[in-house]
Amino acid sequence: MRPVRWTAGLLLLVAAPWIVTELVPNQQRYILHVLIFTALYGALALSYDLVVGHVGSLSLAHPAFFGIGAYGSALLGTEAGWPFALALPAGIALAALAALAVGVPMFRLTEHSFAMGTLGVALVTQIVATNWVDVTRGPLCVTGIPKPQVGALRIVTLPGFYWMALAAVALVALLYHALTTFRLGRAFHAVRDNEALAASAAVDPLKYRMLAFAIAAAVAGGVGALYVSYVGVLCPGELAVSLTVNLLVMIFLGGVGSLRGVLIGAAAFTALPELLRMAPTWRMVIYGLLLLVVVIRAPDGLDALLRRRVAASR
Amino acid sequence: MALFEVQGLTRRFLGVVAVDHVDLAVEAGQIVSLIGPNGSGKTTLFNCVTGYLAPDGGRVVFRGRDVTRLAPHRIARLGVGRTFQLVSVFPRLTALENLLTFLQQHQEENIAARLVRTRGVRRHEAQAIDRALALLESVGLSSRADALAGSLSYGQRKLLAFAAALMPDPDLLLLDEPAAAVNPTMINQMKEQIRGLHRQGKTVLLVEHNMDVVMDISERVVVLDHGQKIAEGAPEAIRRDPKVIEAYFGR
């Protein structure tokens, strides 16, 4: 039964562009755009959850790594003329290197000071992106970022970008699953649950925290590179702290530490603000109220709520 | 040469000398108890020798190797196990997973192999599960193997923590008040466990307030008071030592 449902779900996702065209031909572009954002947000939220949900470090620096990957690949693509197939891995590598450099001092801090320190990293990165005009073009934004091209495969159409984003989130989901289960996942969770006890079990807390932090940053950098190749423009505002707030809402209201929960959260909280555009004046008020309802009705996330419903109906 | 040796260990907290030039030697295969009134520095000493606190002076030697100031996970890897005074488990892992965590770092360290789950890693996992189930059985927790550790009772968590420390088969085991808040039946079971370790040639250093346990299982007792070692010897001699009686009951 399960494999059947999985295959059906996967086919549905892959076929989404055609289905959307059939069902709502005049809204096709808009809906695909929202789906692309959902997939990219899903990948980003999964990477963020590796740090917050699995090793239990409340990093607020995620927009910085997203931004480093985005700026790195965008500038290499426009200024240096690197092809996408090189600019993407370069963005990933730059973000991972930045995480390793930042992680060494940051992980000397504990809990709240770690959150504050990483918030500082996010703010400084955005300030640099805004003010280092010679390189980043500052508020004038990086424009004309080339479309993805690997060999003869060139992605230009909306369905093309949709499949690219879908492949990205699928790949990140597989990586997330491999990292958070079995022995590696156990070491992560041991560090999260009780650092002193983990050390007595010969698990090096710093090593596993750094590993999760660097991998999460690499993924965020990759998503950043894909994102700019899709929208074609990159402004410093994309690195704002509000991105962290969105990600926190997604993982905590979806289901922290759970693959399905985080994806549900990413889908719900990307689609919800878009649906609310129907009531433009009251949009943010309704959004806020809905967040409150979820927090009260499902404090441990939508995923847990779904699971309880399923268990109750049996 | 002693398996484990502490030489002139000193640790201060804001001018208060918690551990004051303590010397201690534990021979391989011995059970040694560390006793003393509350605040006499027993737990501080434990934390200094296992890397959780940096000593202000002195040396810690394990199997002839200076391990002073090594990080806790490195000391653990050398074959030193410890438990904590406050019950310490991984609450969001199951009882079985708690135990498995304690063995995996000793079996292999290669993260990449773990990610792709090579044959060797899967074989290690199977061996670890066998050993963990046997240990859970020995502390009477087999039926709770798949329960989250956070859902176990206080006593069960204490037994789980004890079993977990045994997982990597440490050469030296430091137990911080294993019998505190454990019911009498379980205390007897735990004493049997410690005697079993002794028969296997393991070395145990134990901090304990329960004098029945201390007198019953230790071969040698070391007494701390105000951070200083005031007496050392066989249990019967310690029981009659006037200095020890004074430290506990006052003059």
Separation of alpha carbons B121 and B107, rounded Å: 8
Whether the CB-CB separation of A186 and A60 falls below 8 Å is answered with no
Give the model's confidence band at B251: pLDDT under 50 very low, under 70 low, under 90 confident, else very high: low
Nearest to A93 by CA among A216, A179, A194, A221: A221
Runs of H (alpha helix) within chain B: 42-49, 72-77, 95-107, 111-116, 119-138, 154-166, 184-199, 211-217, 235-240, 242-249
> From CA A177, how far away is CA A180, in angstroms rounded?
5
Task: Give the pLDDT of residue B17.
Answer: 87
User: Range with the lowest mean pLDDT among A11-20, A188-197, B46-55, B169-178?
Assistant: A11-20
Looking at residues A202-208, what average pLDDT do you find? 92
Strands A149-150 and A153-154: antiparallel
Range with the lowest mean pLDDT among A135-139, B18-22, B143-147? A135-139
Give the DSSP per-residue string, B83-113.
--SS----TTSBHHHHHHHHHHHHH---HHH
Q: Could you tell me the pLDDT band of residue B178, with boundaries at 50, 70 and 90?
A: confident
Tell me the pLDDT tens digit for each residue of A263-293: 998 998 888 878 777 777 777 788 888 888 8
- Closest-CA residue of B relative to A182 is B114
Range scoring the smallest mean pLDDT among A13-17, B73-77, B246-250: B246-250
Q: Tens of pLDDT along B121-177?
A: 888 888 899 999 999 998 888 899 899 999 998 888 988 999 999 999 899 999 998
Q: Mean pLDDT, to the nearest integer, of A226-246?
A: 89
Supply the pLDDT for residue A94. 96
Closest alpha carbon within chain A to B98: A190
**A205 interface with B at CB cutoff 8 Å:** yes
- Nearest chain B CA: its distance from A170 CA (Å): 17
Query: Of A178, A193, A199, which has the smallest distance from its Cβ to B72's Cβ?
Result: A199
Give A42-81 pLDDT, tens digit per residue: 999 999 999 999 998 999 999 999 999 999 999 998 888 8
Rounded average pLDDT over A152-156: 83
Least confident of A122-131, A304-313, B155-164: A304-313
pLDDT at position A92 is: 96
| Contact status of A174 with chain B (Cβ, < 8 Å) | no
**Contacting residues for A130 by C-beta, under 8 A, at least 6 apart:** A136, A138, A139, A236
> What mean pLDDT do residues B101-118 have?
80
Half-sphere exposure at residue A208, Cβ-oriented, CA atoms within 13 angstroms: 32
* Facing A193 at nearest CB: one of B93, B117, B167: B93
Segment holding A259, helix H or strand E: helix A259-275
**Mean per-residue pLDDT, B89-95:** 93
Asked if residues A301 and A252 have their Cβ atoms less than 8 Å apart, the reply is yes
Contact assessment for residue B171 and residue B197, using Cβ atoms and an 8 Å cutoff: no
Kindly list the residues of chain B whose beta carbon comes within 8 Å of any beta carbon in chain A.
50-52, 71-73, 76-77, 81-84, 88-93, 97, 100-102, 104-106, 111, 114-117, 121, 125, 161, 164-165, 167-168
- Report how far residue A263's alpha carbon sits from residue B50's, in angstroms, rounded to the nearest whole number: 42
Mean pLDDT calculated for residue range B36-56? 89
Chain A neighbors of B111, CB-CB under 8 A: 184, 211
Of A183, A186, A203, the CB nearest to B73: A203
Which of the four pLDDT bands, split at 50, 70 and 90, describes residue A297?
Answer: confident
Closest B-chain CA to A180 = B115
Q: Which residues partner with A149 through β-bridges?
A: A154
CB-hemisphere CA count at 13 Å for A95?
34
Question: Which chain B residues contact residue A201 at CB under 8 A?
Answer: 73, 76, 101-102, 105, 164, 167-168
Q: Is the ipTM of this complex over 0.85?
A: yes
Instruction: Find the helix or strand (DSSP H, E) in which B9 lies.
Output: strand B4-13
| Contact assessment for residue B81 and residue B173, using Cβ atoms and an 8 Å cutoff | yes
The Cα B161–Cα A68 span in angstroms is 43
pLDDT tops 80 at residue A148? yes
Count of pairs with CB atoms under 8 A, one residue in A, one in B? 87
